[in-house]
Amino acid sequence: MTDNITEEIREIRHALAEQCENDIDLIFEKLQQTACSSGRNYVSLPMRATSTKAVTEKHGAAETTTVR
């Protein structure tokens, strides 16, 4: 069973891709223009530091590395 909202979003996404000839740069530019002209306030949050664990072959112990 498909949700009506999900189906509507897919239709909009496909229509936008077709208008922009499936060019991701044009799609992004159009979405930015729409956001700027909408009059809404958008929030940009700073990137969060994430940590990954790598296993060293020499010691077999996990060490934490911060990725930015």
32 CB neighbour count, 10 Å cutoff = 10
DSSP symbols for 5-40: HHHHHHHHHHHHHHHTTT-HHHHHHHHHHHHHHT--
pTM: 0.54
In the chain the first and final C-alpha atoms are separated, in Å, by 41
- Output the six-digit token pair for 6: 């999900």
Domain boundaries, the chain: 1-40
The pLDDT of residue 49: 83
C-alpha 28: how far from chain center: 11
Averaged over successive runs of 10 residues, the pLDDT of the chain (68 residues) comes to 87 95 95 92 86 59 55
The pLDDT of residue 14: 96
